[in-house]
Chain A
Amino acid sequence: MLSTSTSTSAPSSTLARLDSRVAIVTGGSRGIGGAISAALAADGATIAVIGIPLDRERTDLLRASLNGAAKLVEFYEADVSDPAACRSAVAAVIAAHGKVDILVNNAGITKDHTARKMTVDEWQAVLGVNLSGPFFMIKAVLDHMIENRYGRIVNISSVVGHTGNFGQANYAAAKAGLLGLTKTLALETARLGITVNAVAPGFTNTEMVAAMPKAAIDLARSRTPVGRLAQPFEIARVVRFLVDDNSGFITGSTYDVNGGMYM
C-alpha cells in the first residue's frame, strides 16, 4: 500500500510557486518522501525521485496517484550510500533539466537491534544510507548550487535524533549526525544563496512505522502529547515551506514536527 498523502494546503500568498524549480527527493516515492514529492509537485516543481530499483515502480504509483496534478515526477536510480551512484544520478538530473534547485535528503532505513545484538553491518548500513547518503548527495549537488548562487537543502532527521530510542542506536546516531551536518553546511553556504535546514518528524504514519511492533507504536503514541501519529503531509508541508524562495533567512535550523513528543 502506498502511504502517501496528497493532501496539501492551498498555495498561499506567502509561498512562491515552484514552477521553475527542479527538486531531488531521495526516497521520494513513498512514506514521508512521497508526500514531499507530492507537495512540491503540486506547486509546480519538477521532481526527480532518487531511490533503489524497487522505487521505480513506487514512483510510477505515486505519479498515478497525483492524478495529473504534478508537472513531472521522474525516477533516477541510485543507492545513496554509494557516492559514485549519487554523482551519476545528479549528473543525469542536471543533464535532463539543466539544474537542481532543491535537495531533500529523505531516504532512510532502519535495522533495529539493541546495541548488544546490533551487528557492525547493521550499524554501517544505517549510517551509510541515513547519514553518509545525505553527505554524498550534497557533495554531488553543491558545486552546482554554488555556481547558481541558489539552493534549498532540507535534511529529514527524526525526533529519535534528539531523544534516542530503544533498539535504534544506529538510527538515532545517524539522525543526530544529520543535525551536525546541517549546521556546518549552513555556515559554509549562507553567503552563497543556499539554505540548509533539518526537519525532525515525530512518529509518522508510514510503512516504516507500521513495521514496528504494535506495543512500540502504542508506546510512541502514548508519549506524544497530541495523542496520535503524524500524517506524512504534515511533515511534507514544513519541507515545502523551507524550500520556498521566501525562506532565505532560515538556515541552520531544525524544525521539529513531533506533536510535542520532544521539546
Chain B
Amino acid sequence: MFTGRVAIVTGGTRGIGLAITEILAQEKAHVAAGYSKGSTAAETCAEKHRALGMSVSTHQGRVDDFDDCRRVVDEVLKTYGRVDFLINNAGITLDKTLRKMSAEDWTNVINVNLSGAFNMTKAVLEHMIERGSGRIVNISSVIGETGNIGQANYAASKAGLFGFTKSLALETANKGITANAVAPGFIATEMVSAMPEAALAKVVDKIPTKRLGKPEEVARVVKFLCEDDSGYITGAAFHVNGGLDMA
C-alpha cells in the first residue's frame, strides 16, 4: 500500500510508536524511527525488522531541539529522498501534582510532547508543501481532553497538540497535506505499565470496555489516516479510548 513512501515516526522504537513503525513498514513504507536514548535497543529493533523484510532505519535525535530535528530530517531526506508521513509520537511523562511540580518538570514535558511536534513539523513542512502532499499525525492523548491528577504538564502538552493540529490543518488544507490527531486512551505500553498496580486497576475499571488498549489498535488508526484516500480527513481528532472519554 505504501510502497515507495517514507515515514518518520518520532519515538518509533518503543510502545505505540513501535506499533506505528511496524504497521507502516508492513505496508512497505520505509520508516525512519526516531529515538532519543538507548541506541543498543534501537539498533536491535531495526535489525529485527530488517530480518522480517521491513525497511526500517533508526535515527537518534532530540525532538525538543529545533536544530536537531532539522538535522535528522535532512539525514532522512538525504538517504531516502522524501518524507510522506510525519508521525509526532515521541512523548514523556514527569508526573507530580502541581504543588510539587517544578518548572523544569513542566518545561521538559511541554518541550518534548508539544514543541517537539512543532520542531519536527517545521523541519518537514517546506518539503511537503513543495511536493504538494503529506500526512501529519500527532499522537495526543485522552488526558488532553480529560486532564489527570499529577499530569498538568502532560495534559497541557496533549491538549496543546489539538490546537496545533487544527491550525496546521487550516494552513495546509489547500496544499495536499492533512494534519490530524489520534488520541489514545490507556494503552498497554511500558509508560502505562509503570503505573502502580492499584492505580492501574482503578483506571481499567473506569474504561467502559474494561480493558487497556493494545498499541496496534492505535497504530491502525494512524495508518488509516496516512492512506491516500484519507485526503478529506483533516483537522480531526480520532479517539481510541475504549469509551473512556467521549468528547
29 contacts between A and B (CB under 8 A): A13-B26, A13-B27, A183-B246, A186-B243, A187-B208, A191-B209, A225-B174, A225-B234, A226-B173, A227-B174, A234-B229, A241-B224, A249-B214, A249-B240, A250-B221, A252-B243, A252-B246, A253-B238, A253-B240, A253-B241, A255-B238, A256-B235, A257-B236, A258-B236, A260-B170, A260-B235, A263-B169, A263-B170, A263-B235
B236 touches A255 (CB 8 A): yes
Cβ of A44 within 8 Å of any chain B Cβ, yes or no, is: no
The chain B residue sitting closest to A184, CB to CB, is B246
A226 touches B229 (CB 8 A): no
With A186-B243, A257-B233: A249-B174 Cβ-Cβ less than 8 Å: no
The interface centre, meaning the residue of A246, A247, A258, A259 with most chain B CB atoms within 10 A of its CB, is A259
B23 touches A14 (CB 8 A): yes
CB contacts under 8 Å to A, within B135-178, are 166, 169-170, 173-174
- Give the chain B neighbours of A190 by CB distance below 8 A: 207-210, 242-243
7 shortest interchain CB distances as A-B pairs? A190-B208, A225-B173, A252-B246, A263-B235, A14-B220, A183-B246, A263-B166
A191 touches B210 (CB 8 A): yes
- Give the chain B neighbours of A258 by CB distance below 8 A: 232, 236
Select one of A225, A238, A246, A250 contacting B170, CB under 8 A.
Answer: A225
Cβ of B61 within 8 Å of any chain A Cβ, yes or no, is: no
With A10-B1, A12-B27, A260-B169: A186-B246 Cβ-Cβ less than 8 Å: yes
- Give the chain B neighbours of A174 by CB distance below 8 A: none
A226-251 CB mask vs B (1 if < 8 Å, else 0) is: 11001101100110010000111111
> Chain A nearest CB: distance from B236 CB in Å?
4
CB contacts under 8 Å to A, within B193-247, are 207-211, 213-214, 216-217, 220-221, 223-224, 227, 229-236, 238-243, 246
- Give the chain A neighbours of B242 by CB distance below 8 A: 190, 249, 251
B209 touches A238 (CB 8 A): no
- Give the chain A neighbours of B211 by CB distance below 8 A: 249
Cβ of A202 within 8 Å of any chain B Cβ, yes or no, is: yes
The chain A residue sitting closest to B165, CB to CB, is A263
- Give the chain A neighbours of B27 by CB distance below 8 A: 12-13
The chain B residue sitting closest to A12, CB to CB, is B1
A256 touches B233 (CB 8 A): yes
With A225-B173, A233-B229, A246-B220: A260-B234 Cβ-Cβ less than 8 Å: yes
- Give the chain A neighbours of B240 by CB distance below 8 A: 249-250, 253
- Give the chain B neighbours of A13 by CB distance below 8 A: 23, 26-27
Cβ of A20 within 8 Å of any chain B Cβ, yes or no, is: no
The chain B residue sitting closest to A194, CB to CB, is B209
- Give the chain A neighbours of B239 by CB distance below 8 A: 250, 252-253
Cβ of A67 within 8 Å of any chain B Cβ, yes or no, is: no
- Give the chain A neighbours of B134 by CB distance below 8 A: none
CA distance A12 to B27 in the complex (A): 8
Cβ of B116 within 8 Å of any chain A Cβ, yes or no, is: no
B1-22 CB mask vs A (1 if < 8 Å, else 0) is: 1000000000000000000000
B210 touches A238 (CB 8 A): no
CA distance A26 to B20 in the complex (A): 35
CA distance A204 to B221 in the complex (A): 22
Cβ of B34 within 8 Å of any chain A Cβ, yes or no, is: no
The interface centre, meaning the residue of B1, B173, B234 with most chain A CB atoms within 10 A of its CB, is B234
The interface centre, meaning the residue of A13, A250, A252, A256 with most chain B CB atoms within 10 A of its CB, is A250
Cβ of B185 within 8 Å of any chain A Cβ, yes or no, is: yes
- Give the chain B neighbours of A246 by CB distance below 8 A: 216-217, 220
Given contacts A14-B216, A246-B217, A250-B240, 8 further A-B contacts (CB under 8 A): A190-B242, A225-B169, A234-B229, A234-B232, A249-B211, A251-B209, A259-B173, A260-B234
